[in-house]
Structure 1
Amino acid sequence: MMMRSAAALAGLLACTTPVFAGVCQTTNLMPEVLAFRAATAGLPPDQRAARFVTEVVAKHPEFFKSDIFGNDDELRGYAVRLFDPDHPEHFGDYPPLTDAKLAAFSADFPKVFASAETRFAKAFPDFACTTPILFGPSFGRFGGSGGVGPDGVYRMRFGIDMLAMIESPSDLPVLFSHEMFHVHHSQVLGNALKQNLGVVWWGAWVEGLASYVSYRITPGATPKQALAWPADLYERMQAPGAMKQASAQMLLDMDAKGKTYGLWFHMNESYPGLPSNAGYYMGYRMAEALAARYSLPELARMSPDELKPLIRAYLTEQSK
């Protein structure tokens, strides 16, 4: 294949990174990434990855410079996954990522995000979305991830290659709404939210409420979609005795952190008889119960001091 000239490549990469028109400040790196892939298609994968780090990554430290990717050497190693046609990116049992799927997904997701943003702003009129949101390749490292960049600014990032592998188009509205709620929740609660991060009962509430909100405001969504991972989480927690067992255990673990937190919220970790990420389901059910008495905006603004006795009472009742 004839390679494009360096000047042509420079012209492709000099284009302005697209920004969506909406409430959130969004930056989409995918057109630049796809242009780079097309322009370097004839090079060996390791050379493509090396050039990607110097020609693309260097321009966008806000997306790529974090502990998720490590230093430039580590980043080059991850980037090879996106630039080796003989060993395409893959995750678990999902089909490998193809050029056609990545291109189609990259073309579709901005419209889906814009629609989800409109619905979210309608459900939460005080939604300010001061957190920058970025879309780019994570080389299979994450689908959605919040983090502080080298400039000290907190941003929400979406790994479009990862999402193209593990999500269907119908799942995206729920995913985007879930992550937008985290942005909104952090903004309306401020330090009150941050002070309790990593504590079991608060983790259940924060993740469960985001899951419940994404279900409630997305037309046609199902609880299974809202809880997402593992795929059978909702069904397994519907099994006889599962809710009772989980409620009794979470009562004991309410204020726990560290390894115990991981049993509720980390993949491939769980209590015997319960699925991974059972904490998401428990929080979903808490939010569902309280939504009978409070609106979604009211739930978003409830402080930890207000919520903790309500959650303890809920778990106590469910454990009987």
Structure 2
Amino acid sequence: MASPPVIAQQSVAGAIIDQATIFALFAETTATQAEPRRIAHFHAQFDPLLPGFYRRATPATQAALDAQIAAALLAFPDNRAAFTRTTASFGPAFTAAQERFRQTFADYTLTMPVYLIQSFGQMDGGTRMIGGKPAMLFGADVIAKIHDDTTIGPFLDHELFHIYHARFFPDCAAIWCSLWQEGLAVHVAARMNPGANDRQLELTEPRPIRAELAGRIPQAMCFVRKRLDSTRDRDYAALFLGSGKRGKFPPRFGYLVGAMLAERIGATLTLEEMAKLPPDAVKLRLAAVLASYARC
């Protein structure tokens, strides 16, 4: 059987590079191929389109990802309807979100490429380095699974804020940086969507965070306080990754803790003033608010 045609990158709503539609066509045109050949063709076509995203550092981790790719391709006929609805609706939703976002942040501009992709369960949205440059990636597969008309607005506000915030707050590996970046994004989405519930603010994935953290806020704050300067992967994972494993605190509880800290810091500040706080000021304020929650 001949290799499937290589499909050029397309765009949706002007600024979005739509690789999700390309994936859907790939899944259909390779449906009869044997799995090893199909995976090889996938990498030949998509690795150049999204450099590094579908590649892992070790043979074992690459094999695990390839197994996810194979499973997604096999299951695509069952998921096609939801996936294609998402790809069709995302461009207009993103355009509307940018217009709404500028009502709060008048100097917002789109400063990085935006991709709509098949993420194989890795993300609904987030920034990544693609070809050595920052890009915003949206996973159509995960969006189709966990988002609807009631959640897409706050979700896009959260992700657009990351694009905006990156202009004023440089990334760093320490926990306090991620705590501010993610916590402030949740806070912004909450302020831009009065009355938004925890599901709309993505505080219920993979389990409801607030309910599990109830009664243990001081302990959670002390956990964070002791790790503000940490750059260890395990500390980041405990705070921000959704493994679903039962631990001392719920998965992704750093998002809620960060939002609580941002709310207190922002009591006398506008959202724009918070976004433009310099790193040194942010770290001092985070430490002060953490100390006010509990004695560790």
Q: TM tier, shorter chain?
A: 0.7 to 0.9
Q: Distance in 1 between matches of 2:48 and 2:281?
A: 45
Question: What residue in structure 2 maps to residue 178 of structure 1?
Answer: 158
1:249 paired with 2:249, answer no
> CA 1:63/1:184 → structure 2, altered by over 3 Å: closer, same or farther?
farther
Q: Which moved more, 1:73-82 or 1:172-181?
A: 73-82
Where 1:156 maps in the other structure, the secondary structure is: strand
What is the letter of the counterpart of residue 35 of structure 1? L
1:143 paired with 2:124, answer yes
Shift of 1:64: 4.3
- RMSD across aligned C-alpha pairs, in angstroms? 3.2
Where 1:60 maps in the other structure, the secondary structure is: coil
Where 2:167 maps in the other structure, the secondary structure is: helix
Alignment of 1:1-320 (within 5 A): 10=5, 13=7, 17-21=10-14, 25-54=15-44, 56-57=45-46, 60-62=49-51, 64=53, 66-67=55-56, 74=63, 77-84=67-74, 88=75, 98-150=79-131, 152-189=132-169, 193-194=170-171, 197-218=172-193, 221-228=196-203, 229-237=205-213, 239-240=214-215, 242-258=216-232, 259-268=234-243, 272=248, 274-319=249-294
> CA 1:62/1:128 → structure 2, altered by over 3 Å: closer, same or farther?
farther
Q: Which moved more, 1:41-50 or 1:244-253?
A: 41-50
Shift of 1:308: 2.4
Q: Distance in 2 between matches of 1:33 and 1:27?
A: 12
1:188-226: CA deviation from partner (whole Å, max 9, x where unpaired): 22xxx22xx232333211110011112222466324421
Contact kept, 8 Å, 1:244 with 1:318, in 2: the verdict is: yes
Shift of 1:60: 1.1
Shift of 1:66: 4.9
Q: Number of matched residues?
A: 290
Q: Distance in 2 between matches of 1:158 and 1:32?
A: 14
TM-score between both structures, scaled by the size of structure 2: 0.83
Shift of 1:63: 7.3
Q: Any gaps of 5 or more consecutive residues in structure 1?
A: 90-95
Shift of 1:169: 4.1
Q: Distance in 1 between matches of 2:134 and 2:28?
A: 31
What is the letter of the counterpart of residue 209 of structure 1? L
Contact kept, 8 Å, 2:120 with 2:141, in 1: the verdict is: yes
Shift of 1:68: 8.2
Q: Distance in 2 between matches of 1:180 and 1:220?
A: 20
Q: Distance in 1 between matches of 2:231 and 2:66?
A: 34
Where 1:27 maps in the other structure, the secondary structure is: strand
Shift of 1:181: 1.3
Report which of the two structures shows the higher radius of gyration computed on alpha carbons: 1
> CA 1:252/1:43 → structure 2, altered by over 3 Å: closer, same or farther?
closer
Q: Distance in 1 between matches of 2:240 and 2:188?
A: 18
Contact kept, 8 Å, 2:265 with 2:289, in 1: the verdict is: no
Contact kept, 8 Å, 2:150 with 2:200, in 1: the verdict is: no
Contact kept, 8 Å, 1:209 with 1:284, in 2: the verdict is: yes
TM-score between both structures, scaled by the size of structure 1: 0.77
Contact kept, 8 Å, 2:174 with 2:230, in 1: the verdict is: yes
Q: Distance in 1 between matches of 2:148 and 2:79?
A: 14
Where 1:147 maps in the other structure, the secondary structure is: strand
> CA 1:100/1:227 → structure 2, altered by over 3 Å: closer, same or farther?
closer
Contact kept, 8 Å, 1:81 with 1:139, in 2: the verdict is: no
